[in-house]
Amino acid sequence: MSRKHAVATGYVLTITALTLAAVPAGADRRPDVPADPASPLSRASGAPDATGTARVRAAAVVAPPGMLEALQRDLGLTAEQAEERLLNEKRLAPIVERMRTMLGTRFGGAWLRAKTANTLVVSSTSVADIPAIVAAGAQAEVVPRSLTQLADIKAKLDITLPPKPLVSSVRYVDVKRNKVVVLTSEPQSAQNFVQASDVEQNAVVVLPSSEAPQPLYDLIGGAAYYVGVASRCSIGFSVTKGAQTGFVTAGHCGKKGAVTSGFNRVAQGVFQASSFPVDDHAWVAAKPGWTATAAVDNGAGATLPVTGARAAIEGASVCRSGSTSDFHCGLIQQRDASVTYPQGTVFGLTRTSVCAEPGDSGGAFIAIDQAQGVTSGGSGDCGAGGVTYFQPVDEILTAYGLTLKTTAAPTEAPAQSPEACVGYLSLYQDTLAVGQSALQPRGVYYRARQGGLHSGCLNGPAGADFDLELLRWNGSAWRVVASSDGPGPNKKIAYTGTPGRYRFRVTATAGSGPYALAFTAP
C-alpha cells in the first residue's frame, strides 16, 4: 500500500593502488497481511561465477520479507542475484573486522565489488600485509594513506571549507579512491580553499556536483508520526533507556520537548533530546500504550526483524523504510560524510544510493537484519532516483545512552572481576596483538556537545600491558589530552574537557588478546 504524499527534487536526508587478487516515518498501521515465505539464501555450488571467483559454500541465510523484491527492483538484480548478494554480504562481513584489528593503523578500508558482492577488497599501507589479506579470503590493495589519515584530512577540510557562502555541499572519505572527495557546484572556488589548507593535495579530489541535500521536512499529512499539528516524520528504531521505551529519529524533525502523536493521531511521546545541525539525531520517549518492537516496516504489510546494529561494508546493500516512499534499497557508498544543509553542516553521515522523499526523514536504514541508521537528507526522489544520507545508529545510542531493541535473546552477562568496567554508557570490544593500536569508537571519533567529564575504562587480557589515551581534535591534528600508561591490562581515564571531537586509543604495549573499552562522554 503506497503512502506517498509529496514529491520533491531536493530535500535533506542528509587511487593510486596496487590490485592483487525528510520527515520521520511513523508506525503506519497497515492491514494484517501474511508475509510471503522467506527465501533461503544458500549456495552449494563451488563453480566459478562470471567473474572467475569461486562461490563459497555457506550456511543458509533467511531474507527478511520484502527485501529480495526491493533489491531486485532498485539494484536491477534477478531473484537469484539478490539472494547471492545477501549471502555474500553476510559471509564476508566478519573478515573486515578481523582485518581492521590485524592491520591496525595500516588499515586503509574495505569494500565489496561485483553485482552479487562476491569480492571483498581490503586495502593496507604495507605490502607486507598482502599474504594475510589474501589468506583471509579477500583481494588486497596497497594504498598510500590509511583510513585514519584520510579521516584526519577530511576533518581539516570540514574546518577550512566555509558553509556560508556555501563552497562544498558534501565531503566524504572514498576508500576506493584512497582520497577525500569534495562535492561542489563551484569547483574552482572549492579548489582554491583546498590549496590554501594544510592538507596533502594529492589526497583530495574536487568533483563538480549539483547535489544539494535538504532536510526531509513534509507538512502534508499522512500515516506516520506527527510533531505538533502538521509536521510529519518517520520512526527509526525502537530503543530503551532503563525502563523507558521510545524510538530514535532525525534531529531536524523536532526539538527537545516537542510533543508527538502517532499515525492515528493518538498522543505518542515527547522528544527527550535532539541535535541538528552538527548531528542529525534525536530520541522520543513513548507514552504508555505504545509498545516498542524490534521491527522495521517493509512497505508490503509485513515487518523486518532487527537483531543487531553491525555496520555494513561499503558496497553492501542497504534498505530504507519511510512514511512517504515506503521501502527502497541501494548500496552503502561512503562513510563519514560531511553534508552542508541550508541550516548548517552535519558530520559523520553515511552516503547511499537509496532514494528518499520529504516525509521519510528519521526512517530506518537496515542491512538484512542489522540496524544501520536513521534517514537524514539527500537529493532526488524515488521516481528519478537520488542520493540519501543516514545518521549511523551506533552514534545515536552512544550520544543518549540508549539500548537498541532487538529480537536477539538476552545472554547471561559474564561474571565481573573487581576491576571490571561497569556503569558506563558505551562499550566497544576488540582484539589487539602486541605493538598494535586501535581507535575507538570504531576507528572514528565521538562528539562532545558540551564541556564536561570524559570517563574511560579499559579491561585488557590478564598478564598483558595495555595503555589507554584520550585524544582531542584541535582543528589541525589529534592531540593526547589524557593518558593512563602504567603497568597491567586495566586502565582508567577521567578528563574534563571543552566541546569538540574526541576518541580513545588503546595500545597493546606487551601481550596480546581481547579487550573491552567502556566510556561516558558529556
Catalytic residue IDs: 252, 280, 361
CA distance linking residue 297 with residue 260, whole number of Å: 19
Residues making up the chain, counted from first to last: 522
* Spatial contact of 26 and 262, defined as CB atoms under 8 Å apart: yes
CA distance linking residue 156 with residue 474, whole number of Å: 10
* Spatial contact of 240 and 405, defined as CB atoms under 8 Å apart: yes
> Residue 368: is it exposed, middle or buried by C-beta count within 10 angstroms (0-12/13-18/19+)?
buried
CA distance linking residue 190 with residue 400, whole number of Å: 35
Residue 336: phi and psi, rounded to 5, are 55, 45
DSSP E strands, 32-132: 40-41, 61-62, 107-113, 119-124
The residues pairing with 517 across neighbouring beta strands, listed in sequence order, are 428, 458
Residue 143: phi and psi, rounded to 5, are -125, 155
**What Rg value do the Cα atoms of the chain yield, rounded?**
22
* Spatial contact of 41 and 296, defined as CB atoms under 8 Å apart: no
Among the listed residues 453, 441, 461, the one whose alpha carbon sits nearest the alpha carbon of residue 498: 453
